[in-house]
Amino acid sequence: MGLAKRIIPCLDVKDGMTVKGTNFVNLRQAGDPVELGKAYSDAGADELVFLDITASHEGRKTFTDMVTRVAAEVNIPFTVGGGVNELSDVERLLYAGADKVSVNSAALRRPALIDEIAGRFGSQVCVCAIDARLDGGRWTCYVNGGRIPTERGLMDWAKEVADRGAGEILFTSMNHDGVKQGFALEALAELHELLPIPVIASGGAGKKEDFRDAFTLGKADAALAASVFHFGEIAIPDLKRYLRQEGIKTRL
């Protein structure tokens, strides 16, 4: 059956609290990130992702303190991102207890950052997040939390990211984010065919069947979601049992 598929709750953190929006806007609060992270760890999540969505200088200190608290409470791997611009940021977050670090805007602006992180800390530490929107038949990569379009297309950027040494790609479809109508399956399947590294599907989870489709049709290695977990719409143990019944290998 190959490697087990991973279920990854994502916690967007703003001013020390978990928030969730739709299409990257209209944020509402969802609770304390450390408590939520511990609850997900206890419920059988495979990994966690924490994103500092307002990584100003002050936010960084708050966020780093939170990472230290998370590391003390959870016993599963977790990735942190937001405002990671240089090796010292990676070092700070790993030292605080993170297992992996996610880069996005800074890598698009200076792709050599990926080579540097992989070279210094190993590919397994470097997760490259890609926020892309389907505009007129072409997937365009965005920076600054989905605010600014770039010239880069999803597939060519994903290929470069893998070539530069990233350990995995976290692909968020901005069209699908928070809409709960399913993941971007065609783009996921294309990424799977193109890349030698794992792909995490993000944006669009609304029901258990969406996760099944991400793994079977989208060929994703992991599926990430936020609101369906934060607001109690899908329980992780139920989801994993369902996926097992569908013939998808998960860690129970």
Is the sign of the CA dihedral 31, 32, 35, 41 positive or negative?
positive
The pair of structure tokens assigned to 108 is: 């698009």
Residue 1 has pLDDT above 60, yes or no: no
Query: Quick one: DSSP state of residue 4?
Result: P
Burial class (CB in 10 A: 0-12, 13-18, 19+), 131: buried
pLDDT at 230: 87
Q: Are the CB atoms for 7 and 223 separated by under 8 Å?
A: yes
Model confidence at 194, pLDDT cuts 50, 70, 90, reads very high
- Active-site positions read 12, 131
Dihedral in degrees, nearest 10, Cα atoms 45, 51, 53, 59: 120
pTM of this prediction exceeds 0.85: yes
- Shortest CA distance to 219 belongs to which of 195, 185, 180? 185
| Contact call for residues 171 and 199 (beta carbons, < 8 A) | yes
